Structures are given as structure tokens and as C-alpha cells.
């Protein structure tokens, strides 16, 4: 229904007001990490945090201690403290890595913000979107803390041997290329490609695949511009939002103002994404009116970025570009990525959460309810609502998420005719904690072209929608309404709610009880039970795909299309694929009678290539498959994995 006006006639994004990042922009410099960066872990004594910290310390990361609520003592030869505030006072960290489960992560992030930790890295997936909006509302009001994530592998300086996150270390080597990416797996592919090309990496920043990111492409590009160790830049985007267009605008201006610009290469995943579907990442979907992948590619190309279609091509492309780049002479008195000073603290409340890490492999997606149920929810709140009778001019009013301002917003359109070539919607962002400003109602009314009698009814409708949106943690509340006897009558409802709020935090059970599983695809529901994101594509696609990582899965579908093939499905086993999830994935794919061949594309990050290879063999034999399988294994233990598969006479791309 919605078509957001992303670029108006003036060429600028249309907003009635701007919720800017304000003083938060002053924290971009906190992204410059290196060998002297002092790091703490929240959830330090948990199993996953312990394994990650031990590996990072051995690599060279300066982890000075950590936080576990209620504990004082020592872990891995480093102090353990009960609160982040105490850790700031005694350990003076520059950064914190948050290693807690999704339902605990919001409180941990807030505790770090209140303690004014300069850099906060949140790796957890599936943090409820309303929690993230509240956190962004806090971040905008301060200038001390910078957030990377959530739903991101973190940030890593290959030059400074500083890892805050769970990036696979064998992929990285000290070098010259800066990487910023939405997709973790594709960023590992890019790192491996530049390592094989002999270029290495300087600093790698994960934007992450969430709907709202703490650090975006432009933030990272600004760091890379000034970083002496970075000579070339890689940008990896995907469908969803406008961050790539904002990056393209920045790149175009950068190339104009710089006499010696650093070369930039880019990849955009999701050219062949299923319309209206969430492609694995929480933010990987395109609302009507948002740019598609091809639009983003064209804008980046026009801005001067070199586009590649597969992450393996990054190394060769960047090597060619850097051959023509003349890096400026370095200032010999300045070392790489020096440690920042510590900010003055203010008092904070102690943490109220347990930081024991719990790994939850269930994938999330928004829950859309039937229109009739949405109308029922409105009537319960005293809003005039019923099905459209066919008479009356329909207008659109919605409450949604504005990815540019990192906040909720009212979306309004005076026309909803799908045949109209220029149906425009205007966005009115508002602060999550303050709520919608009633002073904006007249401007919304004018844009909706409402007459004076109906302007009185508009606040009631807006307030009712905002109340439902906030209390039930909606993702999108889209309504169509008509004017009726001095009142506004809702005649259409497209309501989506955040599944993560229910799955990870057990909130909104009444709303999620409205899900009608019987009306969904049974194979997709079956895969979901095993933590697998499986989407069956319409059409005549006959290639089944099995991939670990949402970004890589999107790129796999695109790569098959580039080669003249057509995928029958999107399948993301998750970033921690196991032999069992691989077997379950094969079972789901084989239920599609259209599939004539299966392409397995695994990048070994946290997932080891040889382990996955053994899982493929077990599934192949246990399921007695007769279909040909093509296997691509890259990354950690790739040679061992390739050897295992090739010895068993499977078809293997080397």
C-alpha cells in the first residue's frame, strides 16, 4: 500500500521535521580502534564470551577485564566487576563488547551508554525493534558513546590486532583496505578475497543487518577517509532502507572535493529478492517506495564506485584500482589508530540483568495479521473501523519505522490509487520516548488534504494508532480511511508486529496468538522450527540453494541469475550452521518438486568448512538423495572441507 516519497521534486527526501543524529555524530571518531584500545566484555564469564575473549587475547586484543552482575573476582587473568560504571572507574576502557542474549542486550547497552563507554559493540541478533528505537532515542541526546550493531559481527582492526566481535580471524590480515558491510558473511568473503590478493585490511566495520543500525555506511566512510592505514574502501549493502543511497551521495561529494580520492568498490545483495519478504536479516526487506537493489547499484556506480557482483571479486578489483592510486605520504610522527582519552563519567544505576549468554538460533520475522483482526484492534480502541464499502476517497495514514531518522514516524498520503504513477507519502518522524508531537497534526492534516471538520477527528486516529503501535510493539500499522459524517472511518488495515519481542522476550503473547500458521507455507513453517530461514520463490526456478548467512544467501540467488540459472528458494541456515541444520535444510529443499539440482554455498567463519562438509555427506547418504549437488566451500578450513567432499565424488566447485 505505502509508497514512501524518497526523493521529491527537489531531489531531497521529504520530511515534515527532522530527528537528526545531532551530537551523536561527534562520536564517529570512537570507531578508530587499534592495538592500544582498552576493551571490556559485558557478560565476560559466559561460555561464548569466554571462548571469544580467549581467542581475541591470543590474537592481540587488549582486553582489560569484564563485567558480570553480582561478581567480583578474576577471569582469564583479568578482573571481573559487577557493573559497567565500576569497570569504567577502575579499568578505564575505550570499548565494550556486549555478549549477552537478545532479551538482555537492551539493558546492557543502556548501562554502557549511561556509563559513557566510548564504543559499544552489540552483536546479538533479534533485539526487539522497540528496544532499539528507545536506545537510539537515548543515543541522539549524548555525544560520548557510539554504537556498532546490533545484529552485527562487530568491528575489527587487522592493523591494530583489535577484535570486538566474532569475526573469523583466519580471514583477516593487516593491510590497506577498509570494509563496511551490512552482511557479516559477505564481509568475511571480502576480507578473504583481499587477503588472497595480498592487500589485507585496515579496519572492518559492521553496519549489521538490523532495521536500525547504530553506525551506518556514511559514518564508516568518514572514518576511512581520514584513516592513514586505509587506501581502498569496500562497501557491502543489500535491500532495505536508504543507507546505500546516502552513501552514494557522500561518495559523489567526496570524489568531487578530493584531488586524490581513495578507490571504492561495492556490492549490493538482493537484486532477485522475493518482493515483500524478509530476506533473512531483520532489515532486509523493501517497503513499497523504498529503492530496490538495482537502484542502489546504479546510484553507487554514478557516484564513482566500482561495482562487483560477487565478493570473491573484491580482491582483484581493489588490486587493480589501487595500482592507479597514489597514497599521500604518512606523517611519521603519528602511529596507527591511537587510543582515545577517557570521557568524564556520570552516575548510573547498577545493571539489573543477568549476563549469562544464551544462544538462540530461532530466526525472526515480522508477524502480519489478517485485516479483519486489525480492524478489530482499532474498534477495541474506540476508532471507527469497518471494511471498505466501495464509496469515499481513500487516504493512507500509518505508523512505521523511519530508517533515516532511527525513530518511529507517522506516514501520510492523500492518495492510495495503485494505478496512480505518483502516489506520494510524507514522513513525520517523532522521538520514541517523547511520543508524537501534537503540534504536527495541522501539517499532517494539510498534507492529507482534509477539510476543517475532519481535522478534529485526525488527532483521535493518530493517537489511537500511536498507542497501539507503542503498547503492542508494532512494526507497521498502515490504515486506509475515508471521511464520513464529520468522522474519519478506517476501511483498511495492514498491521505488522515485531516477532522478536515475542520470541526473545516473551512479550505481546496475545498479539502473536493471532498468527494463523495453517495459512502459511508448511515447508517454511517447518524450517522455522529448526532455526532456518526458508523462502520458496514463485516461478519455475529449479535450483535449490543452501547457504549459511542471509547476505551470502541473497548474493547466491543473484549469482545464479547472473549465470543464467534461477533459484527455487532462499535458504539461510544461520551463521552457526551445524551438520544437523544442514541435513534439515536438505529435507526442506527436497520437498520442492521443481528442484533438479542443489547448490550448497558455505563460507567458513564460525562455521568450520570441514564440519559442514561432513554434514553434507551425512545428509547426502542418510536422505538417499538422487539429485546432483554442487558444493562451494570457502573460509575457515576450506581446503579440508573441499577434500572431504571431493573424495566422496560430489560435484565440487574449487
> Given a cut of 90, is residue 12 above it in pLDDT?
no
**Residues annotated catalytic, as ranges:** 281
- Report residue 480's pLDDT band, with 50, 70 and 90 as the boundaries: very high
DSSP-derived secondary structure letter, 273: P
What 3 state SS string does 489-547 have? Answer: EEEEEEEEECHHHHHCCCCCHHHHCCCCHHHCCHHHHHHHHCCCEEEECCCCCCEEEEE
Look up the domain containing 465 and give its range.
Answer: 367-497
How far apart, in Å, are the Cα atoms of 150 and each of 32, 153, 220, 574? 18, 9, 15, 16
| Arithmetic mean of pLDDT, 376-388 | 95
> Are 489 and 546 within one domain?
no
Lowest mean pLDDT among 343-357, 447-461, 492-506: 343-357
> Are 137 and 248 within one domain?
yes
- Segment 224-261, tens digit of pLDDT: 999 999 999 999 999 999 999 999 999 999 999 999 99
- Final residue belonging to a domain, choices 293, 323, 353: 323
- What percent of the chain stands above pLDDT 70? 87
Return the CATH number at 185.
3.40.50.261
Residue 397: CA count within 13 A, CB half-sphere: 27
| Arithmetic mean of pLDDT, 75-83 | 98
- Report the pLDDT value the prediction gives residue 556, as an integer from 0 to 100: 97
> Given a cut of 50, is residue 1 above it in pLDDT?
no
Lowest mean pLDDT among 97-106, 164-173, 484-493, 608-617: 608-617
> Are 317 and 375 within one domain?
no
Residues 6+ apart with CB under 8 A from 312: 189, 193, 634
> Are 529 and 457 within one domain?
no
In a domain, 86, yes or no: no
> Are 137 and 254 within one domain?
yes
- Final residue belonging to a domain, choices 323, 351, 378: 323
Average predicted confidence (pLDDT) for the chain:
87
Give the DSSP letter string of 413-479: ES---TT-TT--BEEEE--TTT---GGGHHHHHHHHT--HHHHTTHHHHHHHHHHHHHHTTEEEEEE
> Are 439 and 523 within one domain?
no
> Are 181 and 117 within one domain?
yes
In a domain, 217, yes or no: yes
> Are 287 and 416 within one domain?
no
> Given a cut of 90, is residue 356 above it in pLDDT?
no
In a domain, 22, yes or no: no
In a domain, 54, yes or no: no
- Report the pLDDT value the prediction gives residue 19, as an integer from 0 to 100: 40
- Report the pLDDT value the prediction gives residue 27, as an integer from 0 to 100: 98
- Report residue 332's pLDDT band, with 50, 70 and 90 as the boundaries: very low
Kindly report whether the global pTM for this prediction surpasses the value 0.95.
no
> Given a cut of 80, is residue 141 above it in pLDDT?
yes
- Report the pLDDT value the prediction gives residue 276, as an integer from 0 to 100: 80
Return the CATH number at 377.
3.30.470.20
- Report the pLDDT value the prediction gives residue 335, as an integer from 0 to 100: 38
- Report residue 361's pLDDT band, with 50, 70 and 90 as the boundaries: very low
In a domain, 149, yes or no: yes
Domain count, the chain: 3
| Arithmetic mean of pLDDT, 340-366 | 33
- Report the pLDDT value the prediction gives residue 288, as an integer from 0 to 100: 56
- Report the pLDDT value the prediction gives residue 591, as an integer from 0 to 100: 94
> Are 100 and 247 within one domain?
yes
> Are 523 and 478 within one domain?
no
In a domain, 335, yes or no: no
- Report the pLDDT value the prediction gives residue 336, as an integer from 0 to 100: 38
- Report the pLDDT value the prediction gives residue 421, as an integer from 0 to 100: 45
- Report the pLDDT value the prediction gives residue 84, as an integer from 0 to 100: 98
> Given a cut of 70, is residue 66 above it in pLDDT?
yes
Lowest mean pLDDT among 438-447, 542-551, 613-622: 613-622
- Report the pLDDT value the prediction gives residue 358, as an integer from 0 to 100: 31
Q: Where are the alpha helices (DSSP H) in 25-128?
A: 47-59, 84-91, 105-114
- Report residue 638's pLDDT band, with 50, 70 and 90 as the boundaries: confident
Of 580 and 538, the one with more pLDDT: 538
- Report the pLDDT value the prediction gives residue 350, as an integer from 0 to 100: 29
- Report the pLDDT value the prediction gives residue 581, as an integer from 0 to 100: 83
> Given a cut of 50, is residue 5 above it in pLDDT?
no
- Segment 391-433, tens digit of pLDDT: 889 999 999 999 989 999 999 999 875 545 455 789 999 999 9
> Given a cut of 60, is residue 352 above it in pLDDT?
no
- Report the pLDDT value the prediction gives residue 652, as an integer from 0 to 100: 42
- Report residue 579's pLDDT band, with 50, 70 and 90 as the boundaries: confident
Lowest mean pLDDT among 221-225, 299-303, 528-532: 528-532
> Given a cut of 60, is residue 337 above it in pLDDT?
no
- Report the pLDDT value the prediction gives residue 360, as an integer from 0 to 100: 33
> Are 448 and 300 within one domain?
no
> Are 414 and 310 within one domain?
no
- Segment 173-219, tens digit of pLDDT: 999 999 999 999 999 999 999 999 999 999 999 999 999 999 999 99
In a domain, 337, yes or no: no
SS3 75: strand
Give the separation between CA 572 and CA 560, rounded to whole angstroms.
16
- Final residue belonging to a domain, choices 440, 467, 497: 497
In a domain, 401, yes or no: yes
Sign of CA dihedral 489, 491, 494, 496: positive
**Listing from the earlier edge strand, what are the strands of the sheet with 569-572?**
533-536, 569-572, 543-547, 597-604, 629-635, 651-652
The angle, 0 to 180 degrees and rounded to 10, between the axes of the packed helices 84-91 and 105-114 is: 40
- Report the pLDDT value the prediction gives residue 20, as an integer from 0 to 100: 43
Amino acid at each position: 500500500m505505502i509508497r514512501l516519497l524518497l526523493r521529491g521534486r527537489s531531489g531531497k527526501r521529504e520530511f515534515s521535521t527532522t530527528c537528526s543524529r545531532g551530537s551523536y555524530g561527534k562520536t564517529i571518531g570512537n570507531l578508530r580502534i587499534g592495538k592500544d584500545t582498552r576493551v571490556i566484555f559485558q557478560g565476560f564469564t559466559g561460555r561464548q564470551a569466554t571462548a571469544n575473549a580467549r581467542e581475541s587475547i591470543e590474537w592481540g586484543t587488549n582486553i582489560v577485564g569484564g563485567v558480570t552482575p553480582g561478581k567480583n573476582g578474576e577471569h582469564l587473568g583479568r578482573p571481573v566487576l559487577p557493573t559497567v560504571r565500576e569497570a569504567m572507574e577502575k579499568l578505564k576502557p575505550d570499548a565494550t563488547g556486549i555478549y549477552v542474549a537478545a532479551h538482555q542486550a537492551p539493558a546492557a547497552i543502556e548501562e554502557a551508554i549511561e556509563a559513557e563507554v566510548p564504543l559499544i559493540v552489540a552483536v546479538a541478533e533479534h533485539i526487539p525493534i522497540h528496544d532499539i528505537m528507545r536506545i537510539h532515542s537515548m543515543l541522539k541526546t549524548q555525544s560520548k558513546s557510539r554504537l556498532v550493531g546490533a545484529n552485527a559481527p562487530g568491528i575489527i582492526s587487522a592493523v591494530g590486532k583489535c577484535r570486538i566481535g566474532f569475526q573469523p580471524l583466519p580471514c583477516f590480515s593487516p593491510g590497506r583496505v577498509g570494509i563496511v558491510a551490512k552482511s557479516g558473511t559477505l564481509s568475511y568473503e571480502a576480507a578473504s578475497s583481499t587477503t588472497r590478493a595480498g592487500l589485507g585490511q585496515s579496519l572492518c566495520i559492521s553496519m549489521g543487518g538490523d532495521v536500525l543500525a547504530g553506525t551506518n555506511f556514511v559514518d564508516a566512510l568518514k572514518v576511512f577517509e581520514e584513516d592513514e592505514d586505509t587506501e581502498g574502501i569496500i562497501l557491502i549493502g543489500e535491500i532495505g532502507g536508504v543507507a546505500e543511497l546516502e552513501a552514494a551521495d557522500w561518495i559523489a561529494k567526496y570524489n568531487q572535493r578530493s584531488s586524490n580520492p581513495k578507490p571504492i568498490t561495492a556490492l549490493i545483495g538482493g537484486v532477485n529478492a522475493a518482493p515483500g519478504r524478509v530476506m533473512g536479516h531483520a532489515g532486509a526487506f523493501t517497503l513499497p517506495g523504498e529503492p530496490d537493489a538495482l537502484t542502489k547499484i546504479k546510484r553507487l556506480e554514478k557516484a564513482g564506485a566500482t561495482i562487483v557482483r560477487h565478493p570473491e571479486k573484491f580482491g582483484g578489483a581493489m588490486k587493480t584500482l589501487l595500482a592507479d592510486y597514489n597514497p599521500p605520504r604518512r606523517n611519521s610522527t603519528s602511529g596507527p589508530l591511537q587510543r582515545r582519552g577517557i570521557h568524564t563519567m556520570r552516575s548510573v544505576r547498577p545493571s539489573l540483568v543477568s549476563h549469562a549468554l544464551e544462544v538462540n538460533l530461532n530466526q525472526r520475522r515480522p508477524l502480519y495479521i489478517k485485516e479483519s483482526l486489525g480492524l478489530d484492534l482499532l474498534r477495541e480502541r474506540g476508532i471507527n473501523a469497518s471494511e471498505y464499502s466501495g464509496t469515499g476517497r481513500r487516504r493512507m495514514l500509518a505508523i512505521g519505522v523511519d530508517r533515516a531518522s532511527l525513530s518511529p514516524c507517522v506516514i501520510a498520503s492523500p492518495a492510495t490509487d495503485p494505478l496512480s504513477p505518483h502516489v506520494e507519502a510524507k514522513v513525520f518522524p517523532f522521538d520514541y520516548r517523547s511520543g508524537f508531537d501534537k503540534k504536527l497534526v495541522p501539517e499532517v492534516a494539510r498534507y492529507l488534504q482534509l477539510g476543517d471538520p475532519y481535522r478534529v477527528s485526525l488527532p483521535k486516529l493518530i493517537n489511537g494508532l500511536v498507542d497501539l503501535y507503542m503498547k503492542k510493539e508494532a512494526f507497521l500499522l498502515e490504515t486506509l480511511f475515508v471521511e464520513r459524517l464529520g468522522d474519519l472511518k478506517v476501511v483498511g488495515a495492514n498491521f505488522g508486529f515485531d516477532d522478536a519481542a515475542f520470541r526473545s522476550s516473551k512479550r505481546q503473547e496475545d498479539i502473536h496468538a493471532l498468527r494463523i500458521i495453517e495459512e502459511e507455507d508448511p515447508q517454511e513453517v517447518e524450517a522455522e522450527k529448526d532455526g532456518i530461514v526458508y523462502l520458496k520463490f514463485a516461478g519455475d526456478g529449479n535450483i535449490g540453494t543452501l547457504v549459511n548467512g542471509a547476505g551470502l544467501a541473497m548474493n547466491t540467488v543473484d549469482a545464479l541469475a547472473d549465470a543464467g540459472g534461477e533459484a527455487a528458494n532462499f535458504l539461510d541456515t544461520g551463521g552457526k550452521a551445524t551438520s544437523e541444520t544442514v541435513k534439515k535444510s536438505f529435507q526442506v529443499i527436497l520437498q520442492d518438486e521443481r528442484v533438479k539440482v542443489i547448490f550448497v554455498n558455505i563460507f567458513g567463519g564460525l562455521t568450520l568448512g570441514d564440519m559442514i562438509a561432513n554434514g553434507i555427506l551425512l545428509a547426502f547418504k542418510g536422505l538417499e538423495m538422487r539429485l546432483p549437488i554442487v558444493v562451494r566451500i570457502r573460509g575457515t578450513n576450506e581446503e579440508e572441507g573441499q577434500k572431504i567432499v571431493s573424495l566422496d565424488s560430489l560435484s565440487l566447485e574449487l
